[in-house]
């Protein structure tokens, strides 16, 4: 069978990928830049930025002078590999052999695949339209060799499908850069007057080898099919999934639990071997009547403990209605994370959040009351109290800054609530305040603590906070917004102390 290859070129891979995640960038010219020789240089430019005069390799200062309203963003190292890998994995539905060609191409071995789409033209159109509908400016070409498909995809203008054996005719009018040459060799060829590939194909191999080395001959032979070119194919990740078909339909809770235990034992054995732990999993039960039931669990920390995960699933057994019976169980771990090996210790220590018994307790509680009921907060570098904390993404996440060494209320309101205040002296703490129609008489007060506004976030006044206690012994955190200004003073309640 004749080998056939497809090359897909993404004109603006990095910028299209960023605009796909951030739609607000689609209507503005923006570039990605990185430092190079003591100056910022454009690594990738969006299509709109290119139309206004900003190109890859240009200094950012020059691009700003040529382009109005240019948005400059830092390049994220390794983003091209990540994007190409994700796009390549998506193309595995069209062919099982997909490889990455950095910085902006995919190579597909489509031998024996195109007939499933009624021919190569429909096959190419299907893939390109799918990629463009996802927000990527993609061009593709098909040829007998990787080199010819690569050249036509990026530099060809008319016919994206090269007929069998037509590599030489297809690449002859293309520029020298279509041969994937080293910059030094390309520069020497251009100085000698070569502008296209055609004249090189007419010269003897001995002349080219003597003047330009073996690299040029290798690229020509690869493009023409004289030398076979090999690529490392992408390997799709193996899903963390276990299946258990049943000889007889399962209709009882003990039978369901036994199936759970077998599946968890097999799955946790693999997780332990790979040094990973389960964070989220689903048990899918396929009934005889064709219906599929599903229950799921999540953990605070990665775990491959069969007993712990089994206890979490046991909380979900009551949600499974076997009806006439379940004939197939499928356990899928949709989220896993690397786990560090914990060494057994001879002496007991206070492990805090690192204690596995604590994380297992949190998992059992969240299984009963819901994961949203348990939260962990970390400090954030902001002045405003409502912005000075953030939700932790995991139990292992470490704070980026220390907690402030000042007294703060146990319960902080999401947003300050207005109150009516009466004070004996205008800029003193309140003597009486009314919140939601209830009157509070203040017998003790401490403060003020002044917190300045964050000018880089938004406009606003500074705040003078007071800790006050009413005649019932309840303590509150209140503040006055800005300086005292006659009858325009605004007071707010922001939190409650124990």
Residues 454 and 417 in one domain: yes
- How many other C-beta atoms lie within 10 A of the C-beta of residue 285? 21
**Does residue 5 lie in a domain region?**
yes
For the chain, count helices (H), then strands (E).
14, 19
| Average of per-residue pLDDT across 48-60 | 89
Listed residue (363, 228, 205) closest to 299, CA to CA:
363
Instruction: Mention every residue, 6+ apart, whose C-beta is less than 8 A from residue 341.
Output: 275
How many folded domains does the chain comprise? 3
pLDDT of 46 strictly over 80:
yes
Q: Mark which of 237, 257, 280 sits at the end of a domain.
A: 237
**Does residue 109 lie in a domain region?**
yes
**Does residue 302 lie in a domain region?**
yes
Question: pLDDT for 225-239, tens place per residue?
Answer: 999 998 899 988 778
Residue 126 CA to residue 134 CA, distance in Å, equals: 13
Q: Pairing state of beta strands 475-481 and 490-496?
A: antiparallel
**Does residue 359 lie in a domain region?**
no
Residues 436 and 450 in one domain: yes
First to last CA, the chain: 79
**Does residue 353 lie in a domain region?**
no
Residues 14 and 102 in one domain: yes
Q: Pairing state of beta strands 463-470 and 432-435?
A: unpaired
Residues 151 and 275 in one domain: no
CATH number at residue 223: 3.30.70.270
Residues 126 and 9 in one domain: yes
Question: pLDDT for 160-208, tens place per residue?
Answer: 999 999 999 999 999 999 999 998 999 999 988 899 999 999 988 888 8
**Does residue 19 lie in a domain region?**
yes
- pLDDT for res 346: 37
What is the residue range of 465's domain? 411-496
Q: Mark which of 211, 237, 263 sits at the end of a domain.
A: 237
Name the DSSP class of 232.
P
**Does residue 33 lie in a domain region?**
no
SS percent in the chain: helix, strand, coil, step 5: 35, 30, 40
pTM above 0.85, yes or no: no
**Interhelix angle 79-91/13-21, nearest 10 degrees:** 80
Question: pLDDT for 102-122, tens place per residue?
Answer: 989 999 999 999 999 999 999
Residues 148 and 257 in one domain: no
């Amino acid at each position: 069978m004749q080998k056939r290859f497809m090359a897909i070129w993404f004109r603006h891979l990095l910028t299209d990928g960023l605009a796909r995640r951030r739609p607000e960038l689609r209507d503005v010219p923006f570039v990605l830049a990185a430092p190079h020789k003591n100056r910022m240089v454009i690594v990738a430019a969006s299509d709109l930025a290119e139309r206004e005069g900003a190109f890859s390799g240009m200094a950012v200062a020059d691009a700003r002078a040529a382009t109005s309203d240019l948005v400059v963003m830092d390049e994220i190292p390794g983003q091209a590999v990540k994007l190409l890998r994700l796009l390549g994995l998506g193309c595995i539905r069209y062919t099982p052999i997909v490889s990455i060609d950095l910085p902006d191409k995919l190579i597909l071995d489509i031998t024996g695949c195109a007939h499933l789409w009624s021919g190569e033209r429909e096959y190419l159109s299907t893939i390109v339209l799918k990629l463009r509908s996802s927000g990527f400016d993609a061009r593709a070409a098909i040829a007998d060799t990787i080199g010819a498909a690569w050249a036509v995809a990026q530099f060809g203008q008319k016919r994206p499908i090269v007929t069998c054996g037509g590599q030489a005719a297809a690449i002859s009018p293309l520029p020298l850069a279509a041969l994937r040459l080293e910059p030094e060799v390309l520069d020497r060829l251009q100085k000698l007057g070569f502008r296209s590939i055609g004249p090189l194909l007419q010269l003897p191999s001995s002349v080219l080898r003597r003047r330009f080395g073996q690299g040029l001959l290798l690229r020509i032979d690869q493009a023409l099919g004289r030398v076979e070119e090999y690529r490392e194919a992408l390997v799709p990740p193996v899903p963390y999934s276990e299946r258990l078909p049943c000889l007889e339909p399962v209709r009882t809770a003990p039978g369901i639990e036994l199936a759970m235990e077998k599946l968890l034992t097999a799955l946790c054995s693999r997780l332990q071997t790979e040094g990973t732990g389960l964070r989220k999993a689903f048990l899918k039960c396929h009934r005889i009547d064709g219906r599929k039931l599903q229950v799921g669990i999540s953990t605070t920390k990665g775990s491959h403990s069969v007993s712990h995960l089994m206890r979490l699933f046991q909380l979900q057994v009551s949600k499974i209605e076997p009806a006439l019976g379940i004939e197939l169980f499928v356990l899928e771990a949709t989220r896993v994370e690397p786990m560090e090996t914990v060494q057994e210790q001879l002496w007991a220590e206070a492990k805090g959040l690192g204690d596995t018994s604590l994380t297992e307790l949190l998992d059992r509680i969240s299984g009963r009351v819901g994961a949203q009921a348990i939260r962990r907060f970390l400090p954030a570098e902001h002045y405003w109290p409502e912005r000075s904390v953030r939700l932790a993404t995991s139990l292992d996440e470490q704070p980026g800054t220390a907690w402030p060494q000042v007294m703060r209320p146990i319960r902080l309101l999401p947003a300050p609530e207005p109150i009516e205040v009466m004070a004996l002296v205008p800029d003193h703490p309140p003597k009486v305040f009314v919140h939601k129609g209830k009157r509070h008489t203040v017998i003790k007060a401490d403060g003020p603590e002044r917190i300045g506004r964050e000018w880089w976030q938004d406009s606003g006044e500074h705040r003078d906070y007071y800790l006050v206690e009413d005649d019932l012994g309840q303590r509150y955190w209140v503040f006055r917004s800005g300086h005292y200004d006659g009858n325009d003073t605004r007071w707010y309640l922001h939190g409650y102390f124990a």
